[in-house]
């Protein structure tokens, strides 16, 4: 017994030593793995950097062999298409005040000869914003129907259905198989998590009315995203109208694509003459005349309300000295509706200049275009407050037709959107000096303007947008709603860069003897799924942003999914392979090979370390969506490793630059629209360029 009792301490001692050695070995293993991964990442980053430089040099060398590169920076004047030198603004602190005029400079009111106060007399100068236009209304629990239909208050309708205006219709999804696949794929039971409740307390807006609902569809998440029924949308055509013969009060509208968010009922094109009275929000404007192509139409008094500041004390827009804006001579598209006094009240503005197809600067040659993206695109951002410019980047050398716009009516381009930060007295905090910004994709179409008959861009964003305190809703949104909204838009308080890419291999469909492949349609579908999942938070009610998980990561996941799906369909279809072999010189074959090369180049950007993120491979979980998994140190390490694997898509500006450079190298030309807190003048804020690292 004594011998046994003497052995026990020895066993305990040995067990303790073994446990210590086990813990020490485990820690050393973890450190070795972390160190090895760090070394691997550093080496891979260096290799990628070296490859990028070699590739750029090879592009430049080939261009020089073909033809000596020439660089032109053009400023188009009027209709003469004359190339002029650009005007650069020095970073002078007094510049902004000089540009806008001193605070004490108040011009004498110049009353127009006639100010029309009869709204009916100028009604012809306004156009409806959309053919099918209405307000989404979320049904009460007992009013819900299958497939997640919602109510739709009709604001405008085609001539054939004018009797619908003012009525409430049922907005329903088509029973088409592909449409129903989308609806079922994103429908979720919604139950708020602790993280969602915590986010609510911090001021973010979440879909409270949907909490506890089962099988919530994408129309319901769109209608119920805010606390009130305030989401107004346009319906994409075709819209199938069904009148119930048994009930004159029941009309149904059947759609096959998600509605697009817009704001306002009517639109006009005006130039602002002056404020009617010093302390008034009423302004005298001149309408655009289609006959003279000048702002010499009827004069009218409208209201441009001063919106309330957000919780940080920053107003999204200001009407202060808007009539002195450098963009005012080119005019503004104003969106809104008339109040009880029949005065038009502006809800959103859009500078005409940024939608026009005449560039302020043009840069030719791949090397010069890449250099502009890297160092000049966001140059002097603070000094250029209140201004906007359009820049054309072409990877090809200048030709005798360089003064002609490359855009034609009906052309479609992919939009790569990024915005920066807010500085100044009321500016945002920027931890470690990093201005993150925001990233999104979109689609731009060249259309004929209804007011001027000139060609212009119609931009629609695909906003993969986290829940926020402003009530900005993830989904498809027209430029005037996302950017120009006086209450929620970013035009007036942030610097913004929209890069529009025209590349035929992406923007046009492929027809392989009846087998249709559409990269653009596939990208839209992937983004539609992302946006719907963001609204519901995959059932948690929340999408939240952290340094390692953001809209950039999830938008990039949509591109990755598009590339892999198109590639998979082509590789697995022998009929397409036979067509390509039979038609090796066909233009469509050349476009297809360009698409394959583009996909390979984009993969290097999206997964620079060659390791596909598990959540991207399975497409099951989104980076911005919280789960109720226990938060641990190791979970944090896993998230950081995921971010490192796709490090080029961590920050919006870096992602925008990398994708734009790939497109340039593939032969695309880029159209850049840059705005810097455009509209009225707020002296307490200034634009800050986003950080690219």
Higher pLDDT, 326 or 603: 326
pLDDT score at 98: 44
Say if residues 346 and 486 touch (Cβ distance below 8 Å).
Answer: yes
Q: How far apart, in whole angstroms, are the C-alpha atoms of residue 302 and residue 284?
A: 7
State residue 447's pLDDT score: 97
pLDDT digits (tens, 9 = 90+) for 498-551: 999 998 888 889 999 999 999 999 999 999 999 999 999 999 999 887 655 567
Top pLDDT among 24 and 125 is at 125
pLDDT at 275 over 80: yes
Least reliable range by pLDDT among 61-75, 285-299, 362-376:
61-75
Q: Looking at residues 273-286, what average pLDDT do you find?
A: 94
Tokens representing residue 414 in the block: 């992919």
- Separation of alpha carbons 383 and 376, rounded Å: 13
Q: What is the mean pLDDT of the chain?
A: 82
For strand 251-255 and strand 240-243, is the pairing parallel, antiparallel, or unpaired? antiparallel
Instruction: Tell me the two tokens of residue 649.
Output: 């898509």
pLDDT of residue 111: 52
Q: Alpha-carbon distance 88 to 360, whole Å?
A: 12
Q: What is the pLDDT of residues 479-501, one digit of tens each?
A: 999 999 999 999 999 999 999 99
Q: What was the pLDDT predicted at 135? A: 98
Q: What is the pLDDT of residue 148?
A: 87
According to DSSP, residue 210 is labeled G
User: How crowded is residue 375: how many other Cβ atoms within 10 Å of its Cβ?
Assistant: 9
Report cis status (omega within 30 of 0) of the bond before 375: no
CA dist list (Å): 638 to 44, 84, 445, 554, 642: 19, 53, 41, 17, 6
Structure confidence at residue 397 (pLDDT): 84
- Tell me the average pLDDT across 300-327: 94
Q: Report which of 426, 536, 425, 421 is spatially closest to residue 473, judged by C-alpha positions.
A: 536
Name the least confident of 4-8, 17-21, 534-538. Answer: 4-8
The token pair at 386 is 């209140």
Classify strands 168-173 and 421-423 as parallel, antiparallel or unpaired: unpaired
User: For 90-115, how does the pLDDT look when each residue is reduced to its tens digit (9 = 90+)?
Assistant: 333 343 444 454 443 334 445 554 67
Domain ranges of the chain: 1-66, 67-87+352-688, 130-261
Quote the distance between the C-alpha of residue 670 and its chain's center: 16
Helices (H) and strands (E) in the chain, counts: 16, 26
Average pLDDT over residues 138-164: 92
DSSP string, 572-625: T-HHHHHHHHH-TTSHHHHHHHHHHHHHHHHHHHHSTTS---HHHHHT---TTB
Strands 495-502 and 266-275: unpaired
Model confidence pTM above 0.85:
no
Query: What is the distance between the alpha carbons of residues 594 and 571, in angstroms, rounded to a whole number?
Result: 16
Kindly report the number of other CB atoms within 10 A of residue 86's CB atom. 13
Give the model's confidence band at 236: pLDDT under 50 very low, under 70 low, under 90 confident, else very high: very high
Residue linked to tokens 């009617």 = 276
Q: What local confidence, expressed as pLDDT, does residue 560 receive?
A: 77
In DSSP terms, which residues pair with 332 in a beta bridge? 270, 351
Q: Which of 64-78, 260-274, 647-661 is the most confident on average?
A: 260-274
Measured in degrees and rounded to the nearest 5, phi and psi for residue 299 equal -95, 145
- What pLDDT does 644 receive? 52
**The dihedral sign for the CA sequence 551, 555, 561, 564:** negative
Rounded distance between C-alpha atoms, residue 125 and residue 333, angstroms: 12
Identify the band that residue 288 occupies on the pLDDT scale cut at 50, 70 and 90: very high
CA dihedral (240, 507, 460, 215) in degrees, to 10, reads 60
3-state secondary structure 358-379: CCCEEEECHHHHHHHHHHHCCC
Decide: 687 and 430 in contact? Cβ < 8 Å: no
| Whether pLDDT at 182 is above 90 | yes
Cα separation of 321 and 32, whole Å? 61
Q: What is the per-residue pLDDT across 373-424, written as a single tens digit (0 to 9) for each?
A: 999 999 999 999 999 999 999 998 875 455 567 899 999 999 999 999 999 9
For residue 19, the model assigns a pLDDT of: 60
- 3-state SS of 419-430 is ECEEECCCCCCC
Residue 194 pLDDT level (bands cut at 50, 70, 90): very high
pLDDT tens figures, 195-213: 999 999 999 999 999 999 9
Distance CA(384)–CA(673), nearest Å, equals: 14
- Rounded to whole angstroms, the Cα distance separating 645 from 649 reads 9
Q: What is the pLDDT of residue 107?
A: 43
């Amino acid at each position: 017994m004594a011998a046994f009792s003497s052995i026990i301490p020895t066993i305990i001692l040995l067990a303790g030593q073994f446990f210590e050695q086990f813990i020490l070995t485990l820690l050393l293993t973890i450190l070795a793995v972390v160190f090895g991964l760090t070394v691997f990442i550093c080496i891979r980053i260096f290799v990628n950097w070296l490859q990028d430089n070699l590739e750029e040099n090879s592009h430049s060398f080939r261009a020089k062999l073909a033809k000596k590169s020439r660089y032109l920076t053009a400023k188009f004047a009027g209709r003469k298409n004359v190339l002029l030198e650009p005007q650069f603004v020095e970073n002078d602190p007094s510049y902004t005040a000089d540009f806008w005029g001193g605070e004490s400079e108040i011009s004498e009111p110049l009353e127009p000869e006639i100010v029309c106060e009869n709204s009916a007399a100028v009604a012809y100068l306004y156009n409806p914003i959309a053919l099918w236009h209405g307000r989404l209304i979320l049904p009460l629990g007992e009013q819900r129907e299958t497939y997640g239909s919602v109510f739709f208050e009709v604001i405008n309708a085609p001539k054939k259905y004018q009797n619908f205006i003012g009525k409430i219709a049922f907005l329903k999804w088509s029973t088409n198989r592909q449409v129903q696949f989308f609806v079922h794929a994103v429908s979720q039971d919604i139950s708020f998590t602790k993280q969602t409740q915590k986010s609510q307390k911090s001021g973010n807006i979440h879909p409270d009315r949907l909490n506890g609902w089962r099988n919530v569809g994408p129309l319901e998440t769109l209608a119920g995203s805010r606390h009130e029924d305030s989401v107004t949308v346009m319906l994409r055509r075709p819209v199938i109208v069904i009148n119930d013969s048994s009930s004159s009060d029941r009309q149904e509208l059947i759609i096959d694509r998600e509605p697009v968010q817009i704001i306002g009922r009517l639109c006009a094109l005006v130039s602002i003459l002056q404020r009617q009275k010093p302390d008034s929000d009423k302004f005298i404007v001149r309408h655009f005349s289609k006959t003279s192509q000048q702002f010499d139409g009827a004069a009218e008094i409208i209201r441009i309300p001063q919106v309330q500041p957000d919780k940080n004390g920053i107003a999204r827009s200001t009407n202060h000295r808007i009539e002195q804006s450098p963009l005012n001579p080119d005019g503004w598209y104003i969106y809104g509706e008339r109040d009880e006094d029949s005065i038009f009240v502006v809800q959103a503005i859009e500078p005409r200049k940024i939608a026009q197809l005449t560039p302020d600067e043009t840069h030719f040659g791949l090397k010069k275009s890449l250099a502009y993206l890297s160092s000049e695109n966001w140059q002097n951002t603070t000094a250029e407050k209140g201004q906007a410019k359009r820049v054309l980047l072409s990877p090809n050398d200048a030709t005798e037709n360089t003064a002609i716009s490359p855009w034609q009516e009906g052309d479609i381009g992919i939009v790569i959107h990024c915005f920066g930060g807010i500085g100044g007295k009321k500016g945002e905090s920027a931890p470690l000096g990093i201005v993150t910004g925001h990233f999104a994709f979109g689609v731009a179409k060249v259309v004929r303007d209804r007011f001027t008959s000139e060609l212009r861009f119609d931009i629609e964003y695909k906003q993969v947008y986290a829940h926020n305190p402003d009530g900005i809703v993830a989904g498809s949104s027209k430029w005037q709603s996302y950017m120009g909204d006086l209450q929620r838009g970013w035009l007036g308080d942030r610097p913004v860069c929209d890069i529009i890419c025209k590349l035929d291999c992406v923007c046009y469909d492929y027809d392989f003897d009846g087998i249709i492949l559409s990269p653009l349609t596939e990208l839209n579908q992937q983004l539609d799924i992302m946006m719907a999942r963001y609204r519901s938070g995959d059932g948690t009610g929340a999408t939240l942003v952290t340094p390692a998980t953001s809209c950039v990561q999830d938008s990039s996941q949509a591109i990755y999914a598009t590339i892999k799906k198109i590639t998979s369909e082509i590789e697995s279809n022998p009929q397409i392979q036979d067509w390509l072999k039979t038609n090796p010189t066909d233009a469509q074959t050349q476009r297809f090979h360009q698409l394959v090369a583009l996909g390979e180049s984009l993969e290097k950007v999206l997964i620079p370390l060659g390791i596909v993120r598990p959540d991207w491979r399975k497409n099951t979980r989104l980076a911005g969506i919280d789960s109720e998994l226990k938060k641990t140190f190791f979970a944090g390490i896993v998230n950081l490793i995921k971010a490192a694997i796709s490090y080029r898509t961590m920050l919006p500006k870096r992602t925008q630059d990398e994708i734009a450079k790939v497109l340039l190298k593939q032969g695309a030309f880029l159209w850049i629209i840059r705005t810097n807190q455009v509209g009225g003048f707020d002296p307490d804020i200034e634009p800050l360029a986003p950080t690219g690292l």
